[in-house]
Amino acid sequence: MPRLRSSARSSWLGCALAVATVAAAEEPGKWLERMNEALTTRNYDGTFSHWQGGKVEMLRIIHRVQDGAVAERLVSLDGSGREFVRTGSDLACYLPDKRTVLVERRPAEESLFGGFPAMNEETARFYDVKEVARTRLNRRDTHVIAVSPKDEFRYGYRLWIDDSTAMPLKTQLCDGRGHVIEQIVFANLTLSSHIPDSDLKPEVSTEGFQWLRNESLAPKGSPTSASLVWNALKLPPGFKMTARSAQTMPGSTAPVDHLVFTDGFASVSVFVEAQPQAAADQPPVSESARVGSSSAFSTVIDGHKVTAVGEVPPATVRYIANSVKAQGSEPLLDPRHPR
Say if 8 falls within a structural domain: no
Say if 1 falls within a structural domain: no
Confidence of residue 215 (pLDDT cuts 50, 70, 90): low
Say if 332 falls within a structural domain: no
Q: Please check whether residues 70 and 184 belong to one and the same domain.
A: yes
What does the pLDDT read at residue 16?
39
Which CATH number goes with the domain that contains 121?
2.50.20.10
Q: Please check whether residues 43 and 160 belong to one and the same domain.
A: yes
Q: Of the candidates 143, 177, 200, which is a domain's last residue? A: 200
Asked if residues 212 and 95 have their Cβ atoms less than 8 Å apart, the reply is no
What does the pLDDT read at residue 250?
58
Q: Please check whether residues 158 and 305 belong to one and the same domain.
A: no
What does the pLDDT read at residue 110?
74
Q: Please check whether residues 38 and 160 belong to one and the same domain.
A: yes
Say if 264 falls within a structural domain: yes
Q: Please check whether residues 223 and 195 belong to one and the same domain.
A: no
pLDDT by residue (tens digit) across 181-192?
999 999 999 999
Mean pLDDT score of the chain, rounded to an integer? 82
pLDDT by residue (tens digit) across 1-37?
334 344 433 443 444 333 333 334 458 989 999 999 9
Q: How far is CA 271 from CA 137, 242, 296, 308, in A?
A: 40, 14, 11, 7
Say if 331 falls within a structural domain: no
Residue 201 in this model has a pLDDT that exceeds 80: yes
Q: Please check whether residues 99 and 234 belong to one and the same domain.
A: no
Say if 312 falls within a structural domain: yes
Say if 337 falls within a structural domain: no
Which of the two residues, 241 and 2, has the higher pLDDT score?
241
Mean pLDDT of 126-135: 94
Q: Please check whether residues 34 and 174 belong to one and the same domain.
A: yes
Task: Return the amino acid letter for 321.
Answer: A
Say if 208 falls within a structural domain: no
Which of the two residues, 15 and 304, has the higher pLDDT score?
304
Asked if residues 25 and 17 have their Cβ atoms less than 8 Å apart, the reply is no
Distance in angstroms (rounded) separating the CA atoms of residues 20 and 120? 19
Domain count, the chain: 2
Q: Please check whether residues 114 and 38 belong to one and the same domain.
A: yes
| Percentage of residues in the chain having pLDDT higher than 70 | 78
Residue 281 in this model has a pLDDT that exceeds 80: no
Q: Please check whether residues 43 and 181 belong to one and the same domain.
A: yes
The mean-pLDDT minimum among 129-138, 287-296, 324-333 falls in 324-333
Q: Please check whether residues 79 and 158 belong to one and the same domain.
A: yes
Count Cβ neighbours within 10 Å for each residue of 250-279 and write b for 16 or more, e otherwise: eeeeebbbbbbbbbbbbbbbbbbbbbeeee
Which CATH number goes with the domain that contains 267?
3.30.200.100
The domain in which residue 308 lies consists of 215-326
Q: Please check whether residues 155 and 244 belong to one and the same domain.
A: no
Q: Of the candidates 167, 200, 233, which is a domain's last residue? A: 200
Biggest alpha carbon distance in the chain? 91
Q: Please check whether residues 187 and 65 belong to one and the same domain.
A: yes
Q: Of the candidates 149, 176, 200, which is a domain's last residue? A: 200
Which of these, 252, 278, 246, 261, lies nearest to 316 by C-alpha position?
Answer: 261
